[in-house]
Chain A
Amino acid sequence: MHKQNYILKTSNLSIGYASKKEKTVIASSINIQLEKGKLIALVGKNGIGKSTFLKTITQIIPPVEGTIFLDEKLLSQYDGKALAQKLSLVLTEQLPPSNLTIYEIVALGRQPYTNWLGTITEEDQKHIENAINLTGIETYQHKKHYEVSDGQLQKALIARALAQDTSIIILDEPTTHLDLVHKVTVLKLLQKLTHETGKTILYSTHDVDLAIQLCDEIIVFSENKVVQDQPCNLIADGTFANLFQNENIVFDATIGKFKIV
C-alpha cells in the first residue's frame, strides 16, 4: 500500500447536533480529503454548516454519522494532547483580558510539548522564533496583545498555531474584521506557509473571489451537497453560480467574481 497523501479525510460524514431526544442533521454525505501542503478554503452561505463542520473535524462536537481520519487514525481515538500535536486552531473569538504579550501568545502554542510547569526548552525556543520569523511579527513581538491592530493580532495567532507544529492548521474566518489589504496579506501569508512548511491549511471564509485566486482547492457547502475541487473546475461546472441562490447575486465566470444585479 502506498503512503497516504491525505492528512485529513472524511467519509460519509453527517454533521449536526445530537441530543438525547433528537438528532439535528445540518449537512450529510460529506466526503472530503485534505492533501498535505495545500491551502484549502471552505465557503458557503451563513448557517449552511461551515462552523459545525469545523467543530466536528476539530473534535469539539462528535459527528452524527460517518468517520473522520486524521493522519490515518480515527479522530475519535486522539486524546487532547495527541490531537494538539496534530491539529491547531485559529479562532475568531476575542482573547480574554490579560497582560499577555505577542511573544507569550506564540509561546503558549508550545504547551502540548512542554512539561507540567510549561517550561520552554531550547527546542521550543527554536519553534517559537521560527514561527515569529515566518509570519513577520518580530517588530512588535514584545507588545501587549491589546496594543496591536487586528491584522497584527491575527498574524500573531497564526504564528501561535505554527509554533504548535501541527500538520494541519484550521482557521475560522481569519479575514473577517480586516480591510482588503490585510485580508490579502493574511491569505498570502497562509499560501506562503503551505509552500514553505508543507503544512495543510484549511480556512473558512466569505471572500470567495479571494479564495478563487489564492487557494489550491475550495470546499463548497451548498444546500444539497458538499463539493471539493480546484477553483477553476468549480467555476467551470457552475458550483459558484448556485452558491447563494439569490436573484440579486450572479456569478461572473469570466472574471471569477460575484456581481449584484
Chain B
Amino acid sequence: MPFTKKQNLFLLLLLFSVVILFFVNISLGSVAIPLEQLTKGIFGQPLDKSSWEIILWNFRLPKAFTAIFVGIGLAISGLLMQTLFRNPLAGPYVLGLSSGASLGVAFVILGVAFLPQSVATLFLSPFGLVLASGLGSFLVLLAVLVVAKQLKDTMAILIVGLMFGSFTSAIVNVLSYFSTAEQLQKFTFWSLGSISNLSWKEVGILGSFVCIGVLLSVWVIKPLNALLLGEKYAQSIGINYKKTKIIIILVTSILAGSITAFAGPIAFIGLAVPHIAKLIFQTSNHAVLLLGTLLLGAAILLLCDCIAQLPGSDLTLPINAITSVIGAPIVIWLLVRKKRF
C-alpha cells in the first residue's frame, strides 16, 4: 500500500520536529550557549569558550542521541507488541519487560557482592549490563507468552504482565535488603531512569542495538500487516507465524533490554507513542506506522528531556517522572474513549 500524501506530509513534519527538538534539547541546560555556537560546534568548528565545547561534546550531544535512540527503541517495541498480542494497551513497561530488565540489572548491581572480583567487573561493564537486562526482559516476555497462549482474552495478558512486574520487583526488594548502601544508591539512581551520563562508547552500543532492532522490524512489516487479521488468517495467507513471533520477541527483548540497561526503566513511551502515531496517521499499515512511531518516539523523548531540564532553573528532573506524567493520562484517556484500534 503506497503512502498517501497526507501521511508523507505528517512524516516530513515529524522529521522536521525531531530536528528542531534536537537543537532545542542541546541548547537547554544550566549553562547558556548561543545557538550559532551550538551549530558551529556540531560541525566540528572550534567554539569561543573551551568549556562550551566540553559541555556540548561530553554532555549534551550524547544525551540528545541517547534520547533519540531510547525514544525510537521503546516506541517500536511497543508497536510490535501491540500487534503481536492483539492488544492496544501492550508495551514493554506494561507487560513487565522493563521489570524483567530491572531484575537482570538488579542481579548485576546488587548481586556482585556474591561474585568473585574478576567476574564482577566483567558483569558491571556496559556489555554485561545489556546482557543481563536483555536476558531479564527476554525471560519475562517468554513467560508472558507461555501464559498468554492459555488465555483467550487478550486483556488478561495485561494482568499477567502486571503480576510478573510485581513478582520481579519483589525479588529486587529482597536483593536490595541484602545490599550495601552504596550499591542501593547506585541501583535507585538507575531505576529512576536517566538518559544523561552516557559515554560516547555507551551511546554507540545503545545505537547499534537500536539499529539492529529497527532493521529486524522492517523485515517483519509484511507479516505484521498480516497479523492484523489475526493469527489464523495470517497463516492462511502464507505467513510463517512461528518465525514472525520469534523475530518480534527477539527485537523487543533487544530493544527493551538494551534501553533499560543504559537508561533505566522508562515508562509509557512504548505504550503511548504507537497510539498517538495510529491516531495521527489513521492507518494500520506497519510501513507507515513503523516510520511514524520511530520519528514520534524520538521527538517525544527529546521533548520529555527538554521538560526534565526545567528551562529557566538549575534543577533536572528524572526522565521517568516526565514520561509517566505525560503517558499515564494519555492511557486513561484512551481507555475512556474506548475507540477501537
List the interface of chain A (C-beta within 8 A of B): 58, 60, 80-85, 87-89, 91, 93-100, 104-105, 107-109, 111-112, 114, 116-118, 120, 146, 164
Contact = CB atoms under 8 A, between A and B. Distances in A.
Interface stretch (B198-206, B218-226, B258-266): B218-226
A80 B238 contact: yes
Contacts of B282: 99
Interface stretch (B139-147, B164-172, B228-236): B228-236
Interface string B285-302: 101000000000000000
A91 B238 contact: no
A165 B237 CA distance: 11
Given A89-B232, A89-B233, A104 B285 contact: yes
A98 B278 CA distance: 9
B230 A89 contact: no
Contact of B1 (A83, A96, A104, A164): A104
A60 B341 CA distance: 28
Interface of B, helix, strand, loop or mixed by DSSP: loop
Contacts of A88: 236-237
B283 interface: yes
B230 A99 contact: no
Interface size, B (range): 20 to 34
Given A80-B238, A80-B239, A91 B284 contact: no
Given A111-B222, A117-B221, A118-B222, A83 B238 contact: yes
B153 to A, nearest CB: 12
Interface of A, helix, strand, loop or mixed by DSSP: loop
Interface of B: 1-2, 86, 88, 154, 219, 221-222, 225-230, 232-233, 235-240, 278, 282-285, 287, 340-341
* Most chain B CB atoms below 10 A, which of A80, A94, A114, A116: A80
A89 B228 CA distance: 15
Contact of B86 (A80, A97, A117, A164): A97
B284 A120 contact: no
Given A87-B236, A100-B284, A146-B340, 20 more contacts: A80-B235, A84-B236, A84-B237, A91-B232, A91-B233, A93-B230, A95-B229, A96-B86, A96-B228, A99-B278, A99-B282, A99-B341, A104-B284, A107-B1, A108-B225, A108-B229, A108-B237, A109-B237, A118-B1, A120-B2
A116 B278 contact: no
A109 B283 CA distance: 17
Contact of A98 (B154, B237, B287, B341): B341
A111 B226 contact: yes
Contacts of B239: 80, 111
A112 B228 contact: no
A58 B86 CA distance: 23
23 contacts: A80-B238, A80-B240, A84-B237, A85-B238, A89-B232, A89-B233, A91-B230, A93-B232, A96-B86, A96-B227, A96-B228, A96-B229, A98-B228, A98-B284, A99-B283, A99-B341, A100-B284, A104-B285, A107-B1, A108-B226, A108-B229, A118-B221, A118-B287
Contacts of B154: 96
A89 B284 contact: no
Contact of B88 (A58, A89, A97, A114): A97
Contact of B222 (A80, A100, A114, A146): A114
Nearest to B236: A89
B166 to A, nearest CB: 27
B222 A95 contact: no
Contacts of B228: 95-96, 98, 100, 108
Contacts of A114: 222
B62 to A, nearest CB: 34
